[in-house]
Chains A and B, each alone.
Chain A
C-alpha cells in the first residue's frame, strides 16, 4: 500500500517463489545442520508423497475426509440456513435461543467425541456429527446477522408488491442476505476441514487426519506425517478457492463490491 509502485504481474509469481525457495532452503539446511535423525528433509517428504500416492492410500484417505466434510457440511447448510433465517426474522425467537447457541458454540467439537461415540459409535457417523457441529454455528450466525442487515427498504418494497411472509423470506430476504450467508458458509467449510482432520486423529481409522497420526505411531514415519500435512493444507486451500468462485456469480457479486 505504501510501496511507491504497484507490483507488476510477474511479481505476483516471483515473490512467492522466492519466499517458498527461502523456506525450503531454511528447512533443508536446518535438517542437515542439526543432523536430526527423525525430522524429514524436504526431499524425503517429496518421496513420501510419491510413496503415498503409489500405495493408493492417499486417494482413499482424501476421499474419506472429503466425503465426511461433504455430508457434515451439507447437513449443516440444510439445517442451518432455514433455522438461521427464521431466528433472524423473529428477533423474539432469537432472543430465546441465542444464549443456548452462545453456550454451546465455545465447546470444541473434539470435546463432543465421547458423546458422539455414545450416539454413533466409533466411525464415519461420529466424524460427520462432529463436522456438522463445527459447521453449523458460523452458518447460523451469518444467517441471523445477514437477515438483520437487509435494508428495510427491501422489506417495504416486497410488502408493497403484495408478498406474504414466506414469499418475502424466499424472494427478498434470502437473496438479500445471501452474500453474508456465503461468507459464513465459506468460514464453516474451513472449520469443517479442520474438524474432520482433528476428529480423524482421535475417533476414526481412515482419512487424512488418521494418516497423520498413524504414520507416526506405526514407524515414526515423519516424512509421511509432513507429507500428509501438506496435502491437508493444499486440499483445504482448494476447497476455499472453489467456494470463492461461488462469490463471483453475478446475482451474488453485488454484495461483495466493497470487499478487497
Chain B
C-alpha cells in the first residue's frame, strides 16, 4: 500500500499543493469520529487529480480541508509552500449543486469576485468566460432559467474568472443526468486544456475518474487513508473502449473492492 507516488514527466520539482500527515477528526456528541487519517499527497501545478472512494468515506472532507474550509485536526496543507488557514480566492471550490447565487444574473455571478477590477477589465473577463463555458445569449438570465448543467457551467465560469491557482470540484456533475454528465466532462477537459489550472476533482464515478484524471487517488472507507494512487497514462482524447482504458478501470474497481460483473 503506497502512500505517495513520485511525480513524473516534466513537472516542477516543488509540488503546488502538499498535504502532510493530514488528519481530521469530527466531534459529534462527545464522541470523536476520525474521518481522515494520515493523508500524504503531493500535487503538481497543472495536474488533474481525481479523488475517488466509497460513499461517505471522507472525500469531500479532504477537499474542504485542502481548500481551507475545514481546519485539520493534525497535519497541514501547504499551497506554494504557504500553509492553508482559510478560504482564499486563489483556490475556488465548485459545489455539487445550488452553488450559484440565485439573485444574480449569469453576468452578475461570473463577475462576483471581480469587484476590485476596473470596469472595462471586469466586463472583458465576464465576456471571455461566458464564451468559455458556452453560455452566450444567457448573460442576463437568472439561474432559475438555466438547466442543471448550465448552472454548473456558470459555477465553473465564476470560479475561473478570478484566476485561481487551484480549482476544487466536489462531485460537480453528481446532480446531473448521465447524458449531461458526459457532455460536461468534455467541456471541463476542454477548459482545462485551454487554461491549464490545477484541478482537484472528487467523484464516486469510476469511469469519470479514468476519463478525466492524470492521477487517481483512491481513498479507503472511513477513516479514510490513501489506498492507492493510480497514474492514468493515456493521452487525451481518451478512447473509452481501448484496452488500456479498460485495464485501468478494472484496476480501479479492484482497488475499491467492487466486482466487475453484475
Name A residues whose Cβ lies closer than 8 Å to a Cβ of B. Answer: 151, 153-154, 156-157, 159-162, 171-172, 175-176, 178, 250-255, 257
* A-B CB contact pairs (8 Å), 19 listed: A151-B98, A156-B87, A157-B93, A157-B101, A159-B69, A159-B86, A159-B87, A160-B88, A160-B92, A160-B93, A161-B89, A161-B112, A161-B162, A162-B89, A176-B101, A178-B103, A250-B142, A254-B103, A254-B142
Does residue B104 face the partner (Cβ distance < 8 Å to A)? Answer: yes
Chain B residues near A253: list those with CB within 8 A: 144
Does residue B53 face the partner (Cβ distance < 8 Å to A)? Answer: no
Flag if B142 contacts A251 (CB, 8 Å): yes
Flag if A254 contacts B144 (CB, 8 Å): yes
Chain A residues near B104: list those with CB within 8 A: 175, 251
User: Shortest beta-carbon distance, A167 to chain B, in Å?
Assistant: 9
Q: Roughly how many angstroms separate A244 CA and B142 CA in the complex, as a whole number? A: 20
Chain B residues near A156: list those with CB within 8 A: 69, 87, 93, 95
Closest to B143 in A: A254
Closest to A151 in B: B98
Name B residues whose Cβ lies closer than 8 Å to a Cβ of A. Answer: 67, 69, 86-89, 92-93, 95, 98-99, 101-104, 112-113, 142-144, 162
When A and B form their complex, which 6 residue pairs have the shortest distance between CB atoms, in order from nearest?
A: A254-B102, A161-B113, A175-B103, A162-B89, A159-B87, A160-B87
Q: Roughly how many angstroms separate A161 CA and B160 CA in the complex, as a whole number? A: 11
Flag if A251 contacts B103 (CB, 8 Å): yes
Q: A154 contacts which of B67, B86, B89, B101 (Cβ < 8 Å)? A: B101
Q: Roughly how many angstroms separate A252 CA and B142 CA in the complex, as a whole number? A: 11
Closest to B142 in A: A250
User: Shortest beta-carbon distance, B16 to chain A, in Å?
Assistant: 18
Chain A residues near B113: list those with CB within 8 A: 161-162
Q: Roughly how many angstroms separate A254 CA and B102 CA in the complex, as a whole number? A: 6
Chain A residues near B69: list those with CB within 8 A: 156, 159-160
Chain A residues near B162: list those with CB within 8 A: 161
